[in-house]
Amino acid sequence: MQQNTIQKRQESGENDGVRLKYRPLSCALDFDKCRIYAFFLNNIMKNIVVLISGRGSNFEAILRTARSEDWEGRLGLKIAAVISNRPLAKGLDTARREGIDAVAVDHKAYPTREAFEEALAAAIEPYKPAVIVLAGFMRILTESFVARWEGKILNIHPALLPLFPGLDTHQRAIDAGCRVHGSTVHFVSSVLDGGAIIGQSVVPVLPSDTDETLAARLLPYEHKLYPQCVKAVALGEVKLIDGKAVMSDEVAHHLAIFWRKD
């Protein structure tokens, strides 16, 4: 029965964007079934590549969610590699401990930004990523690099875009008298912090807040939001079409996360 189901999925082309559940088959019992199973996995497994420059707290949040929700086993989503422009980034050690490929591409070793990005692209390409996640990656990507993976590169920004692009977002929100603040996951475009919005998380701004207390209140909601956005894009539930993030009402509701008082 399982063999017939797999063959039907292959013949109908229903693999892409479908949430599938599967269990390993016993190769000792039926070699032909295992060959079909392996072929099936190779066709549906979607790789996620994460780019970091330091510890990568958002990478750690995505990893925790991927493990707890069993993305690889249930959804065919795999965090295949973590790549850093800093060879001593702590996030690389985390990746190694978790059995994830850890790759360093030191930007200081290249004479130009373009040369660095060619090396970075060469490191990414073998994984054929469905999604490239920027998780504290402290390099501005050129337009040509972004165009190479248009609709696949994601970033998180600590503000409710289009408000407050750039730096010092928490203090700017306080200074502007905002009563709410938040974070935004968006597709990366050639405009800094200007790509199509995928999801947002929202927290209150209190009269007593400093930039530190506001950042601390927001961080757990960033860590809730980013994994869900990564998963939605990797599964094809959110797509970049004509410069806009297109999704269903149900998905949009899921990717809007609001603060709750404990």
Active site (catalytic) residues: 157
| Exposure of 12 in the CB half-sphere (CA atoms within 13 A) | 9
Tell the burial category of 10 from Cβ atoms under 10 Å away from its Cβ (0-12, 13-18, 19+): middle
Beta strand pairing call for 153-157 and 180-187: antiparallel
Under a CB-based contact definition with an 8 Å cutoff, are residues 215 and 159 in contact?
no
- Tokens representing 253 are 């509701």
Tokens 């850890």 correspond to what residue? 102
Distance CA 151, CA 69 (A): 24
At residue 154, the 3 state secondary structure works out as strand
In this structure, how many other beta carbons lie within 10 angstroms of the beta carbon of residue 44?
19
Distance CA 198, CA 233 (A): 9
H or E stretch covering 114: helix 113-124
CA distances to 53, 150, 185, 198 from 170, in Å:
21, 29, 16, 21
How many helices (H) and strands (E) are present in the chain, helices listed first?
A: 9, 10
H or E stretch covering 253: helix 249-254
